[in-house]
Amino acid sequence: MTAGPVIVHVIGRDEWAAVADVLAPASLEVEGFVHCADPDQVAGVIERYYADRDDLLLLQIDVGRVEAPIVREDTTGRGEAFPHVYGPIPRAAVVDVTPA
């Protein structure tokens, strides 16, 4: 059970296994934020960007446990805003992990 609203981060099993205290994927350094989605956006994200992967996990992130700013942005020009986390995400903010 979660304590508040959640956003979702899609991650490979091996990548998640390597996370110690904070989630800070390459996108944080390259783009300045961690890509996330609202629960109802996840299926489309997987279809568009991860269709060839079968090792994915969905991290349910309690937004109340994230200290970094969360900004909803449409960076694709599709008219759909996604939550972007502008900083690392503490592992303690991940309240559930499920297979994609």
Q: What's the pLDDT tens digit per position in 32-76?
A: 999 999 999 999 999 999 999 999 999 999 999 999 999 999 988
- For 6-99, the fitting CATH number among 2.40.50.140, 2.30.40.10, 3.20.20.70, 3.20.170.20 is 3.20.170.20
- When mean pLDDT is compared across 1-15, 60-74, 81-95, the lowest value belongs to 1-15
The count of other CB atoms within 10 Å of the CB of residue 94 is 21
Cα–Cα nearest to 39, from 12, 22, 55, 61: 61
What residue ranges do the domains of the chain occupy? 6-99
DSSP helix/strand/coil, 41? helix
Burial class (CB in 10 A: 0-12, 13-18, 19+), 79: exposed
Q: Give the pLDDT of residue 1.
A: 45
The pLDDT value given to residue 91: 97
**Averaged pLDDT for residues 1-25:** 91
Please state, in angstroms and rounded to a whole number, the distance separating the CA atoms of residues 18 and 80: 31
- Residue 3: the pLDDT is 58
Confidence of residue 87 (pLDDT cuts 50, 70, 90): very high
For the record, the structure tokens of 78 come out as: 């599709």
